Amino acid sequence: MNKVAVMTDSNSGITQIEGKKLGIKVVPMPFTIDGEEYLEDITLTQEKFYEMLLSDSYVSTSQPSLGYVSSIWDELLAQYDEIVYIPMSSGLSKSCASATQMANEEYKGKVYVVNNQRISVTQRQSVLDAIELAKMGYSGKEIYDILTEVKMQSDIFIMVDTLKYLKQGGRITPTAAALGGMLKLKPILLIKGEKLDKFKMRNRTVEDAEVAMIAAIKEAINGYLKELDGKTDNVHIEIAYSGTDTKDASQYAKMVKKEFNLKDDELVVQPLSLSISCHIGPGALALAISKAIPDKYIK
C-alpha cells in the first residue's frame, strides 16, 4: 500500500499549527502590502492584515513560487510514495494551474494536484476528506479521482458588510456601490466552481442576510445534494468570517446550530481566507456546506 501525503495551502484556513497536528504541509500564501511581501500565518497574522487593510494600504495577492512548492514535494517524497495537493480553486488563482503543469511535467505519477474549485472552509473539508481517504488506504490517484468527482458538491454564501472593497476590485461599479450604500444593502455572494459571484443584492439588514443564507443552505440540502443519494444528514455545515471581531460569528453560530440541530463539535467556525478577505473587507459572514464522502467510498 502506497504512503500518501496530503498537502494544501493557507487558503484552506488551516494554520501551520493545525497542519502539524493533522500531519500535513500547508503552503503559506504570499501577499504584497505597500511593496513588501508577507506570508500568511508566518509573517502576516490576521490582526496585522486587517490593520493594514483598514489603513488603506495597497494589498495584493500572489501565488507561491514553484521552486518553494517543488522543494516541499521533494521533501515529502523522501518519506511518502505519493502526494495529494489541494490548492485554492483555479478560478480564483493561477497557483493551481501552475502546480498542475509542474506535477504533470516533473512529478507525473507522484503528485496529484486536485482542482476541486473550493476555498476556505470547503477547501478545508476537502483536505480532511483526503486525510481520511488516505487512512483508508486509497492511492493518490484514487483520492484525486474521488475529490474531483465531488468537487461541485459544496457552496459558500458570503454576506458582505461593506461595498468598498468590491468596488476597489472592480467587481461592482462605483454607481452600484453608491446605490447599495444609500439603500444600506447587505449583498450575498456565492462561491461555487470557478468564481466569486453575486447571489442576492436585496437584503437590507444583517439579520435579513443571515436568514437568507440559512434558507439557501436548506435549499441545497433538500435540493441538489439530496438528489445525489436521497440523504439530507450527510453534510458538513461551516461558518467563516472576516475581521478580528468574532462576536457576530459566535452569535450566528448559535442560530445555525439551532436551525440545523447541530452539536458544538458539528459546526466549524473559521476565519475566511485572507485571499477572499482582501476583496471583500472585514465584517463579512459566510455560511457554507459540503457533502460528506459518498458511502460507496467508505471502507
Rg (CA), the chain: 19
DSSP type of residue 265: G
Amino acid at 229: D
* 199/209 Cα distance (integer angstroms): 11
C-alpha cell at 72: 516541499
Q: Up-side HSE of residue 11: CA atoms within 13 Å toward CB? A: 28
Partner residues linked to 198 by β-bridges:
189
C-beta separation of 127 from 86 below 8 A: yes
pLDDT of residue 89: 76
Partner residues linked to 285 by β-bridges:
159, 241
Partner residues linked to 59 by β-bridges:
33
The residue whose grid cell reads 471502507 is 299
Amino acid at 256: V
146 contacts: CB under 8 Å, gap ≥ 6: 129, 133, 138, 293, 294, 297
* 84/114 Cα distance (integer angstroms): 7
* Strands, E assignment, the chain: 4-9, 25-27, 30-33, 36-39, 59-61, 82-86, 111-113, 154-159, 188-192, 195-200, 235-241, 267-271, 285-291
The residue whose grid cell reads 453534510 is 235
User: What is the torsion angle, in degrees rounded to the nearest 10, for the CA atoms of residue 131, residue 133, residue 137 and residue 141?
Assistant: -100
pLDDT of residue 191: 83
pLDDT of residue 171: 47
Question: If we measure between CA atoms, which residue out of 187, 212, 206, 185 comes closest to residue 198?
Answer: 187
Ordered per-residue pLDDT tens for the chain, 299 residues: 679 999 999 999 999 999 999 999 999 999 999 999 999 999 999 999 999 999 989 888 888 999 999 999 999 999 999 999 999 876 666 788 999 999 999 999 999 999 988 989 999 999 999 999 999 999 999 999 999 999 999 999 988 887 565 545 444 444 343 344 444 567 788 888 666 656 565 566 888 889 999 999 999 999 999 999 999 999 999 999 999 999 999 999 999 999 999 998 999 999 988 988 888 889 999 999 999 999 999 98
Q: What are phi and psi of 129, to 5 degrees?
A: -65, -45
pLDDT of residue 92: 65
